[in-house]
Amino acid sequence: MSPNIKIINDIITQNSILLKYLINNSKFKIKFKKFKKFKKFKTILIIGMGGSILGAKAIYDFLKHKTKKNFIFIDNLDENYLKSIKKNNNLSKSLFIIISKSGNTIETISNTYFFKSFLKSKNTIILTENKNSFLRNLAKEKKFNFLEHKKFIGGRYSVLSEVGMLPAYLMGFKVENFKKNLGKFIYNKKIILSSANLINKLKIKSAKILVFFNYVPELNNFLYWSQQLFAESLGKNKKGFIPVISNAPKDHHSLLQLYLDGPKDKVFYIVSSSKQGNLKTKSDFFNDNVQYLSKKKYNDIKNSQKNAFLRVLKNKKIPFREINIQKFNEDTIGKLFLQFIMETIFLGKLINVNPFDQPAVEEVKMLTRKFLVSKKF
């Protein structure tokens, strides 16, 4: 057994409580029964920050073609955006889901205040830890619906828990479809070897930057979720990898020169898809100089660009891996979530950092509260 595979097996054993909870099906089926009445809402607003909301955004974007629900995500203090939501939606007939592990997240509480006149017991769910906090106490006081955020699950690892699965359930998806193959997936040797090969590339090349080079627009928010997962879990003690998101083919015309001829401190995740779209060019538009574009599907054009990029990466000996999406369904996104969670914990072990804390973030939060109290803005 190679050292890397042994490390992965050790990680599965050492984090068995977390991983078993994330891949479990039956608990969520029972818990979500009481929320079935909320499926009638067509517009659903989720208020949260970071790991409390990024996973649900990723699920919605990836599976939007399978739901008729309108989900609105509020994860910033953008006054114009907040006002536009209030102006353009019938909020008295909308559902609000407010998510914060601590129950005291400043932005989440502030945005909850903005919508306070629309929050009723019949249309509000608060998901937080069952402890003394602003949101837990608000749920009790206003008799809002409450769902517990498990203490042993950090926000950025919570997408396969209640935090991501309740929104997915209310989008109209079956939770079991995200999780039905995850038990086998954890021990899949092909996946483990893929992860181990990635780690070897990072070690050999002393890479500092992970570039997510994305040809699949439906995965943009998944990559923002991944960016937080990698950055917040691994960036500490002067160690870590900087996760950068690039969207293709747009960034062929802006960042490609740097990526290919700049510092050799990067590993690339090439995110692609085998899905074929319907958009296709016709022959009567193109002259002889660009006749190669005639009768081509847009996906064929994009795949040609991707293959050219991969060829040059290979020629220049720049390390990369390709993640190719075959099916746009719950099973696929569930496996992607779990694979990236496993790899993050694996990388933490490799560089000897704790992937479950975020001390520098806590320092900024503490000082923010201090400035607000002292009125030194």
Q: Contact 99/125 with Cβ under 8 angstroms?
A: no
Q: What distance in Å separates the CA atoms of residue 371 and residue 377, rounded to the nearest whole number? A: 6
Q: What is each CA distance from 373 to 108, 364, 365, 369, in whole angstroms?
A: 18, 14, 13, 6
Closest CA to 137 of 161, 104, 166, 110: 104
Please work out, in degrees rounded to the nearest 5, the angle formed at the alpha carbon of residue 216 by the alpha carbons of 183 and 231. 65
The encoded tokens of residue 273 equal 């898809």
Active site residue 253: yes
The one catalytic residue in 162, 232, 330, 343 is 232
The one catalytic residue in 150, 252, 297, 365 is 365
Q: Contact 147/126 with Cβ under 8 angstroms?
A: yes
CA dihedral angle for residue 87, residue 58, residue 63, residue 218, rounded to 10 degrees: 100
Q: In what order do the strands lie in the sheet with 95-99?
A: 70-74, 43-47, 95-99, 124-128, 145-148
Q: Contact 173/28 with Cβ under 8 angstroms?
A: no
The encoded tokens of residue 186 equal 């954890």
Active site residue 365: yes
Q: What distance in Å separates the CA atoms of residue 318 and residue 310, rounded to the nearest whole number? A: 9
The one catalytic residue in 189, 238, 253, 317 is 253
Taking only Cα atoms into account, the Rg of the chain, rounded to an integer number of angstroms, comes to 22
Active site residue 34: no
What does the buried/exposed string (b/e) look like for 173-203 if buried means 16 or more CB atoms within 10 Å of the residue's CB?
Answer: bebebbbbebeebbeeeebbeebbebbebbe
Residues involved in catalysis: 232, 253, 365
